[in-house]
Amino acid sequence: MDNKISHVIFDVDGLILDTEKLYTLILEEMLEKYNKKFTWDLKLKQMGKQEQEAAKVAIDELNLPITVEEYLKHMHEGQSRLFPKAELLPGAEKLIRHLHKHKIPIAVATGSNSYSYALKRQNHGELFDLFHHEVLASSDPEVHKGKPAPDVFLVAAKRFKNPPQDNKQVLVFEDAPNGVQSALAAGMKCVWIPDSNVSKSDWEQPLKGVNLILNSLQEFAPEEFGLPPF
């Protein structure tokens, strides 16, 4: 494997910020009203998707008697309460600052929309400002399909000042199976950091091609991908 990485793209939810548990909490609150149960099987289908798609998945899978608009209204109310408290996940800040210090071009590619993203990032503005750009799949007119389609990572790659010569030189960090599939479909390298609720063996086949699986960003050794060591 040619290990030399020139550009790095980060997912956000469940990777930089501990927001996946907040999405779960908000959904569980809503499901209680309809006497329905949250499952990780459903969650994995939603993670990384554009928000309209994620809403449709939940409504269809659980037979919820509400529209996409009603679902999103509830989610946005919960997000406005909880997302400003979003905390950084271990290892994220150290890695972002390290890559920035060494002038490695870094960007964000998330399934989020601009409303939710602004809430999540509001207490971490100085850190997120280190990214060259941030692509939001649910709000960006150039991103036609959300993860697992490659669009969001392809758009993120081409917006660098000096775009990568080959997508194989781009390293993506992801927590969601949909996100890993998206990065691999874009021809990029991918480090997968799954939630501890995810059974890695179930995903071995669908995610074959993933370059590295870690328990936390804290375990990442940049030199393994030709990046400057800590």
Structure tokens at 21: 């548990």
Closer residue to ligand PSU in complex, CB, 125/229? 125
Q: Draw the binding track, 131-170, toward Mg ion (x: CB under 5 A; -: no contact).
A: ----------------------------------------
Catalytic (active site) residue 195: no
- Site residues for Mg ion, window 171-210 (CB under 5 A)? 175-176
Look up residue 142 and give its DSSP letter: T
Least Cα distance to 79 among 30, 128, 35 occurs for 30
Q: Draw the binding track, 8-37, toward Mg ion (x: CB under 5 A; -: no contact).
A: ---x-xxx----------------------
CB of residue 161 vs Mg ion: minimum separation in angstroms?
Answer: 25
Least Cα distance to 3 among 167, 169, 229, 188 occurs for 169
Specify which residues 109 forms β-bridges with.
135
Phi-psi region at 125: left, alpha or beta (left = phi > 0; alpha = psi -120 to 50): alpha
CA distances to 2, 58, 78, 172, 203 from 147, in Å: 26, 16, 23, 13, 16
Closer residue to ligand PSU in complex, CB, 5/152? 152
Catalytic (active site) residue 13: yes
136 binds, options ligand PSU, Mg ion, none, Cβ within 5 to 8 A by partner type: none
Closer residue to Mg ion in complex, CB, 108/227? 108
7 binds, options Mg ion, ligand PSU, none, Cβ within 5 to 8 A by partner type: none
Structure tokens at 60: 């269809």
Structure tokens at 167: 């997508």
CB of residue 101 vs ligand PSU: minimum separation in angstroms?
Answer: 24
112 binds, options Mg ion, ligand PSU, none, Cβ within 5 to 8 A by partner type: ligand PSU
CA distances to 3, 99, 220 from 229, in Å: 14, 10, 10
What's phi and psi for 169, nearest 5 deg?
Answer: -90, 5
Residue among 11, 140, 151, 175 flagged as catalytic = 11
What's phi and psi for 27, nearest 5 deg?
Answer: -65, -45
Closer residue to ligand PSU in complex, CB, 5/51? 51
| Interface contacts to ligand PSU, rule CB under 6 A | 11-14, 20, 23-24, 43, 46-51, 54, 110-112, 116, 138, 147, 176, 179
Closer residue to ligand PSU in complex, CB, 50/167? 50
Provide the H-helix boundaries in 102-215.
114-121, 125-128, 151-158, 177-185, 200-203
Residue among 13, 140, 151, 175 flagged as catalytic = 13
Active-site positions?
Answer: 11, 13
- Residues in contact with Mg ion by CB under 5 A are 11, 13-15, 175-176
